Amino acid sequence: MKLLINFLLLLALIIGGLWGYLSFTYPDTPTQQTALYFVEHLARPHEKLTKNVLGFLPYWKVEDKDTVQLTALTDVNYFGLTVNSTGEIIQLMGNQTDPGFREWNTQAMRDFVTKAHIMGTKVSASIICQDNTAIEALLNNTDAQEKLIGQIDEQISTRKLDGINIDFEYLGEPDTAYQQRFTELSKRLSTRLKAKHPNLQLTLSIMPRSARDQDLFDFAKLVPLYDAFIGMSYDYYGATADVAGPGAPMKGYKEGKYFFDVTTTYADYRKFIPKEKIIMGVPYYGWDRTVTDQDKLMSTTYAADHANNYSAIISYSRMKKENFKQTYTCIWEPVAQETWCSYTDPQTKLPHQVWLSDEKSIGIRFAFAKQQQFQGIAIWNLGYDTGYNDLYSLITKTFSN
C-alpha cells in the first residue's frame, strides 16, 4: 500500500509539474487544451524534413487552419499584419476591424500558434505594405520606422514568434533614393530585432523580376541582413493578364513563349543571393479566365470593364472536388510544365481557359527547389488544398529523410 501511495504521489507531482510548465510556457491557451496538443504531439511526431517547408496561412483561410498538417511543415507564416505610412499596424479599416488584425487576435488563432509550437513547427507573421504612397511615406520618416520596429518587436514578444516576413510590394520603379532608404530600414530592423531576439528568422518576400527590374531591393546590401528571401514565383499570368497563361511557367522566356518564367527568375536571384538563402514560392492554385478562343493556347482575355470578363482562382481543392481534369478537355503543356483546360460555360455560353496547379506540376517545382539546393519552399497557400492529403504526402516524399 505504501508503494502505491508513493507512486500516486510521484505521478501527481509529475502531472502537476507538467501542468505548471504548460500553463507558464503557453499562457495564450487554456492549459487543458495545451495538454491535448501535447498528447497529440507524442502520438504524431514531427516529420524529419531536410529543407524548410513554409506554409503561408492568410487571414481569409484561417477557417481551414484545423486541416493544416503541422507535422509536415517546418514553418507556418500568418499573412498578415498590414502597416500604414506612419509605421502602425492597421487595426481599423473605416468603422470595422482590419481583417488581418482581427483574425490574428482571435482565441482560435492564438490556440493554433500554441499547437504549432508544441507540434514542433515554427510560427512567423508577415508585415505587409503594398501601397506605393504608404511605402514612400514610411521610408521618408525615421520616426515612423522606429514605431514600426517597436510594433513588430511587440508582436514577436507577446506572440512568441520565431520569425518575421517583410512583404513590401512597390509597383513600378521607385526613385533610387527609396532603394537606399529601404536598405537602411532593413538594417535597423535586423540589428534591433536580432539584438533582442537572436534566433529570429527574418525573411523578405521578393517579386519574380526583383533581381532584374529597378525596385526597392539592393540585394548586395540586403543579403547580409536577411536570413532568407522568399520568391513569389506565381501569378506570372493572373487575374488581370491580357492573355490566359500559366500561373508559374517553369520555362518559356528564352523561347519567346512566355513573358517570363520560374527558371529565369531563380537564375536571376542566384546572381545576387546564395542558394542557401532562397526559399521558392510554390502556388497551390491556378486561374480560370474567359477568353476569345478556348482552343487557342494563350488566348486573349477580356478587359476588366468588359461584360464578358471573368477570372476566378482554382485552388487545388476545387480542381480535385470538381474533377476539372476529368470533366474538361485538358492538355499538359511541356514548356510551362502545367496543365491547361478549356470548356464552354453552359449558362453564359462563354469560352474559358483554365491553368491548373496539379500534383504533377507542384511535384516538379518541389523537385526543382531540392535540385537547386535552396533553403526550402514556401506554399501559397495553406487552405487551398483543404480536404486532400496528396500534397502533404508529396512534401514528405520529397523533403524527408
If the chain, 401 residues long, is cut into consecutive pieces of 10 residues, what is the mean pLDDT of each piece? 56 58 79 92 94 98 97 98 97 91 97 97 98 98 98 97 98 94 98 97 98 94 98 97 97 97 98 98 98 95 96 98 95 98 96 97 98 98 96 97 76
Nearest 5°: the CA angle 281, 73, 63 is: 85
DSSP 8-state assignment for residue 301: B
Beta bridge partners of 326: none
- How many Cα atoms within 13 Å fall on the side-chain side of residue 221? 13
Contact call for residues 202 and 163 (beta carbons, < 8 A):
yes
Residue 99: which residues within 8 A CB-CB, separation 6 or more?
Answer: 59, 60, 93
Q: Which pLDDT does position 5 carry in this prediction?
A: 60
pTM above 0.85, yes or no: yes
What is the per-residue pLDDT for 28? 83
Q: Which of 342, 361, 340 is nearest to 290 (CA)?
A: 342
For 126-227, where are the alpha helices, taking DSSP H only? 132-139, 142-159, 176-196, 219-222
Distances (CA, A) of 91 to 34, 97, 128, 153: 28, 6, 13, 17
C-alpha cell at 339: 496543365
- Map out the domains of the chain with their CATH numbers: 47-284+358-399 (3.20.20.80)
62-100 burial, b if ≥16 CB within 10 A, otherwise e?
A: bebbebbbbbbbbbbbbbbbbbebebebbeeeeeeebeb
Distance separating alpha carbons of residues 379 and 230, to the nearest angstrom: 10
Which of 208, 232, 210, 201 is closest to 379 using CA atoms?
A: 232
E strand or H helix at 75, and its extent? strand 75-82
pLDDT at 127: 98
Distance CA(33)–CA(399), nearest Å, equals 31
Q: Is the dihedral of CA 293, 299, 300, 304 positive or negative?
A: positive
> HEC string of 222-240?
HCCCCCEEEECCCCCCCCC
Angstrom distances, CA of residue 37 to CA of 33, 94, 262 = 6, 38, 39
